[in-house]
Structures are given as C-alpha cells and as structure tokens.
Structure 1
Amino acid sequence: MMLKTFRWAFAVTALGLAAGVLYGGWTAFGIVAILAVLEISLSFDNAVVNAGILKKMSAFWQRIFLTVGVLIAVFGMRLLFPVVIVAVTAKLNPYDAVHLALTEKNRYEQLVTDAHPAIAAFGGMFLLMIFLDFIFEDRDIQWLGWIERPLAKLGKVDMLSVCIALIVLLITSFTFAAHAHQHGGAHADKAQTVLVSGIAGLITYLVVGGLSGYFENRLEDEEEREQSNPSAGTLVGRAAFFMFLYLEVLDASFSFDGVIGAFAITNDIVLMALGLGIGAMYVRSLTVYLVRQGTLDDYVYLEHGAHYAIGALAVILMVTIQYQINEVVTGLIGVILIAWSFWSSVRRNRALAAAEGETERADSVSVR
C-alpha cells in the first residue's frame, strides 16, 4: 500500500535531488532536501485536513482533486508563486526573473537581497497570523499545556491575533528595518517598505481565511439541504463542487507558509522549485494514504508541531531583515519541532494503550 501510494513521490524525489546535485553540487543537494522536509512538515496538517474532507467526496471528485488539484498545487503554488514573489518585489516580469535566476545569478541574487525585507515582512506576517490563530484557539487536545492553556484563555479576546501581529510589525519596522541600512535616508525607506509589505501579508491572510470560511459555510449549507432532501441529485454535485473549491483555497492558504518559509532557507529559485515540488508530491501522496488507511487521528500532536514550526519561521523571517541566519539552522528548527511532536504522539498512544490494557485486566478480575 505505502509503496504503491508514494511511488510517484519517490520518483520525483530521486529526480529532484539529482537535479540539485547537477545544478549546484552537494550543497544544493542539502538545500533541496531541507526544503522538501520543510514543505512536508509544514504541510502535514494540510494533508490531514484534506484527507478528512476528501473521504466524504465521491470517487470522481477525489480523482479531480488528486489530478487537477495536484497540478494547481505543485505547478501553480509551489513552482510559479516564488517567481511571482520575486517578480513583484524586484519589479520584474516573470520571464526576466526566471532568466536572471538561470543566467545572471549575481545580479539576480542582488535583486532578491534588495527585495528581502519586503519578502520577509510579507511572509513573516502571514506565518505569524497562522501561528497566532492556532495557538489562541481553545483545543480539546493540547501538546504543551503549560503554554497552550493560558493562551487559549487569552484567545477569547476578539482580534487579539491581529493586534499582536500589528504590534510585532511596528516593532520590527522601527528596530530591525530601521537599522538594516544606516546610509542617508535609506533606513526610513526600508522601514516604510517593511511596514507596507507586512500589512499586505496580514491582508492576504485575512482574505484567504475569509474565502476559506466562505466556502466552508457554503459547504455546510449544501450538506444540510442535501440531508433534508436526499432525492435532489443536483445538490450533491453542487455540494461536491463547493467542497472542491474549499479544498483548493485551503491548500493555497497552507502552501503560502512553505513558499514563504523557503525564502528563509534560500533565495535560489531553482532550488526552491525543486525542494517545494518534492515536498508537494509527498503531501499529495500522504493525503491519498490517509484517506485509504482511514487513520487520521493516530498522531495528534503533529499539527501542534507544524504550527510551532510556522511560528519559529515567522520570527526568523522578521529577524533576517537585519541579521543573517544560517539556512541549515532555519531548516532544522522545523524538523526538530515536528520530530518532537511525533515522538510525543507516540508516547501518548503507548500510555493510552497501557491504560486501556490495565482497565481490561481490572474488568476481567472483577468478573471472576
């Protein structure tokens, strides 16, 4: 089952890593591998959510999502979106951005370096909002309870995450951005760029979240109407269509964190495309695997670990406006958090199994 489900992901991994070695040697190989792991770790919760919705869909719509949907996810969001980011921030058309990346690397790197504060501010705010909205939500299952319990209580305050994000953006604009350049009035321009880009990232998050909520509400309405009138076949198709749209918007919102987070690892658009493409294929295969196996709740802390990794990347992106952070350190932080949450989930499962065994033994003794 696993080999059959992940065969395409394994093939893309081999091709992508080989291409990385040919493109930039073993250093590039390592960066592509880190980006792939980063995309997988940050998108695991995406696969879980996708699988939970996908299992409700018919076989036809599952095939649509896993064919048309994966083309949008891999080639649209993971491969083209980085080009768009560079093109917009560096004021180039996409063709020129790709051409520079392949033929004039020094100039391209300089343009991306100049645009990095805007990229970091935009991405940092988007990632920070994802993390804050997660950490302020009251959840039945908590991983680090000593942190999550008090924050869940604070989360009852309306718009708290937006307020905190704006405060962080203001502090960043007048600290890291203001000190990034000290020549003439450059620091003022840099602070303004960071402020505007950060607000754009915040608005983007709110718009994407609003669209996801809209499609989710439409889906719930259609499901209620379908249950009240099961004979209306057209409603089934409409509900499935809204479910597909909701999945695409949801997948796009999750893919932002991997794409934006990749800029904290490398500015090389070729390595970024290779790494994120490999990761996206594993996310697709993992979604299929979870649907077919039906085991979505085995490792309950993985979603927590992924969001803590998102929060760490948000902080790192904001700090890199002034300071350079080793890309290996950046990538390993996410991997460590995911591994920690996975191991915590395994320990929880073992403890629950042991407790269940003790209960069964006690019941058998009492019957005797």
Structure 2
Amino acid sequence: MVLKTFGWSFAVTALGLVAAVLYGGWTGFGIVAILSILEISLSFDNAVVNAGILKKMNAFWQKIFLTIGILIAVFGMRLVFPVVIVAISAKIGPIEAVDLAMTDKDMYKQLVTDAHPSIAAFGGMFLLMIFLDFIFEDRDIKWLAWLERPLAKLGKVDMLSVCIALIVLLITSMTFAVNAHQHGGTHVNKAETVLISGIAGLITYLIVGGLSGHFENKLEEEEEREHEAEEEAKRTGRKNTGMALAGKAAFFMFLYLEVLDASFSFDGVIGAFAVTNDIVLMALGLGIGAMYVRSLTVYLVRQGTLDDYVYLEHGAHYAIGALAVILLVTIQYEIHEVITGSVGVILIAWSFISSVRRNKRIAAEEAAGGANLKKEVSGV
C-alpha cells in the first residue's frame, strides 16, 4: 500500500534531488531537501482536508488528482504562479518575468515580496471561509464541544460566515494593510489592494465552493436513487444516465480541490524565498513536497484514517483558521515559516491524540458492556 501510493513521490524525489545536484551542486541538493520538508510541514493540514473531499470520489478521479492535479500544483502554483505575480506587479510580459527570475534573483524576490499583501489577502480570505463554514456547521462528532456546540447554534444565522469574513477583511485593510511590509523593511499603504484582493478571494470561494457543494448534493441524491435507476434501466432497456451527473459533480469537487491547494500554496511559495531566490531550486523543492502531500491525501483516503481518527478533520480545519489569520497578519509583520508550520502540526497532532484517546475509551466501554452482558447471561 505504501509503495503503491507513494511510489511516484519516491521517484519524483530521486529525480528532483539528482536535478538539484546537477543544477546547483550539493548546495542545491540541501536547499531542495529543506524546501521539500518545508512544503510538507506547511501543507499536512491540506492533505487531511483534501482527504475528506477526495474520499467522496471514485478511483478514477483520485487518479486524476494524482496526475493532472499534481501537474497543476507543481507547474501552476510552484512555478508559473510566482512568475505571473512578478509579471503583474512589474507590469511586464511573462517571458521578461522568467528572464528576470533567472538573471536577477534579487529583483525577482523584491517584486514577489512587494506583491505579498495581495497574495495574503486573497489566500487568507479563501482559507478563512473554509474554516468559518466548518465551525458553524452542526456536526454529530464534536472535538472541542465547549466551543463547537455554541458556534453550531450561531451557524443557523444565514450568511454569518460571509459577514464575519467581510468584517475581518475590513479590519485588516484598516490596520495591517495601512502599514504593509515591503521588500527592504519599508512599509506602504496597501489598504485598497488588500481590500480588492480579499474580496476576490471571497468571491472565488463562494463560486467554486458553491458549485462543488451543489453538485456534491446532487451526487448524493443520485446515489440514493441509484439502485432504483438501475432496476428501471433493466426493465426498460434504457441506458442509465446517472454517471454523467456523477462526473460533473466529481469535476467540480476536483476544481474545488485545486483552488484549495492553491490557497494552501501561498505560504509555501512566499516562505520559500526565505531559503532561496532561485526559481529552479524553488520549483524542485516545492514540487517534491507537493507530490508527497498528494500521495498522503490518497493514503489517508484508502486507509480510512479519517474514519478511524475522527478528530483529524477538526484539527486540520482549526489549522486552516490559524493559517488564514497568520496570512493576514503577515501583510504587516514577518512571521517565520517554522512558526507557521508548527501551528498546523501541533493542532493536527493534538486532534490525532484526542482521536486515539476517544477510540480507547469507546473500546473500553464496549469491553465493559460485553463483560456485564456475559455476567448477566451466566447469572441467568
């Protein structure tokens, strides 16, 4: 199972490290290794959340997620995205941006750093909406019941998540964005940029999340009627058209996963500049890390880990909320990547330990119940 799921990740790691040595020597090897670990640590919560969505897809779409999805993740977000940011910020063509990335790495880093407020606002709002929609939903299984129970009651208010997100964005644009951090330690007013980018992130979430949720509900309804549809098709000899809807639903969930992955990638791409300005080494390191995150997502689905450790999804969403806040704070203040990565790891580890304790408690209660039943039968 491990080799089957992580085989491509191992292969990409070997090829990536060899390419790093050939391109940048052993120094390049070390940089790529560090970036790979950085990406995995920052994106572990991404894997858990992705697994919760991916488990609803069939094997075909899981394979698409590992093939086409990884191409989008590596070449789109880890290579093309930084170039696009530079092109937009410097108002130059993409070819000139690539040339700048290869020939003037310091200027390239400066342009990406100066574009960070808009990146952080877009990604922060998208991730914040994911977190808010999760905590305001009434769930059968609650991790921090003292917090989640009253929040679930508040969640009955229509559009509460959107209202809170807009309030947070407004406060951010009036505080952190007014004194936004730029390259060289200078600060400028980026209130308008942050406000526009944040609204764009919110709109993106509402469109993509809304479409994926709509078609997911349609898919669930179709699955409930699947048996009846199959029986009807056998009687009438007509072809069952349920798979078309399933394909459409899976496509929009796949699209949602890709946008979600893009939002998670912002901190990794920006944080990579603390390690290197070389776009080639950056793409190699982050690409290797992204491959492991995807393999880990599929592994969690196939092993049924989320079903066995029921609080993992909660911990991942709390990590998303923390990351959203961190992204918004970094508009003005620099926060080390170690802190960003540690917050997510700690929350997920905490939720994992809580899940293990829950499983032991349930097992003990079942064992005690079985023993009592046995005594009663023996007494009879």
Distance in 2 between the 1:227 and 1:92 partners?
A: 57
- The alignment status of 1:44 with 2:67, answered yes or no, reads no
What is the identity, as a one-letter code, of the residue corresponding to 1:317? L
SS of residue in 1 equivalent to 2:308? coil
Per the alignment, do residues 326 and 203 of structure 1 end up closer, same or farther by CA in structure 2, a change over 3 Å counting? same
Preserved CA contact (<8 Å) 2:306 2:312: no
Cross-structure match for 1:229: 229
1:29 deviation in Å?
Answer: 3.3
Q: Which residue of 2 aligns with 1:134?
A: 134
> Which has the higher mean CA deviation after the structures are superposed, 278-287 or 165-174?
278-287
Over 3 Å counting, the alpha-carbon distance change for 1:89 and 1:313 in structure 2 is farther
Matched, 1:242 2:252: no
> For the Cα contact (< 8 Å) 2:177–2:332, is it kept in 1?
yes
Equivalence for 1:35: 39
TM value normalised by structure 2: 0.83
| Residue identity matched to 1:104 | D
Rounded to whole Å, the distance in 1 between the matches of 2:224 and 2:368 is: 42
CA offset at residue 206 of structure 1?
A: 0.9
Residues 171-182 of structure 1 aligned to structure 2 (within 5 Å): 171-180=171-180
Change (3 A) 1:95 1:361: farther
Gaps of 5+ in 2: none
Q: Normalized against structure 1, the TM-score is what?
A: 0.85
Q: How far has the Cα of 1:194 moved from its partner?
A: 1.1
SS at match of 1:233: coil
Provide the aligned length of Structure 1 versus Structure 2. Answer: 361
The change in CA–CA distance for 1:354 and 1:278 in structure 2 (over 3 A counts) is farther
Match of 1:346 in 2: 356
Q: Which amino acid aligns with 2:369?
A: T
Query: How far apart in 2 are the matches of 1:306 and 1:17?
Result: 30
Residue 87 of structure 1: how far off its partner (Å)? 3.9
2:267 alignment counterpart: 261
**Is 1:324 matched with 2:334?**
yes
Instruction: Supply the distance in 2 between the matched residues of 1:61 and 1:320 (Cα, whole angstroms).
Output: 35
Aligned identity (percent) is 64
- Measure, in 1, the Cα distance between the counterparts of 2:53 and 2:254: 12
> Which structure has the bigger radius of gyration?
2
Separation (CA, whole Å) in 2 of partners of 1:252 and 1:207: 13
Per-residue deviation, 1:62: 5.6
CA distance change for structure 1 residues 293 and 115 in 2, over 3 Å: closer, same or farther?
closer
Return the letter of the residue paired with 1:51. K
**Superposed CA RMSD:** 3.0
Give the 4+ runs in structure 1 shifted more than 6 A.
none
Deviates more, 1:196-205 or 1:75-84: 75-84
Q: Give the 3-state SS of the residue equivalent to 1:297 in structure 2.
A: helix
Q: Which residue of 2 aligns with 1:97?
A: 97
Q: Is the contact between residue 36 and residue 275 of structure 1 (CA under 8 Å) also seen in structure 2?
A: no
Residue 95 to residue 351, structure 1, CA distance change in 2 (3 Å)? farther
Counterpart mapping for 1:289-304 below 5 A: 289-290=299-300, 292-294=302-304, 296-304=306-314
Q: CA shift at 1:118, angstroms? A: 1.1
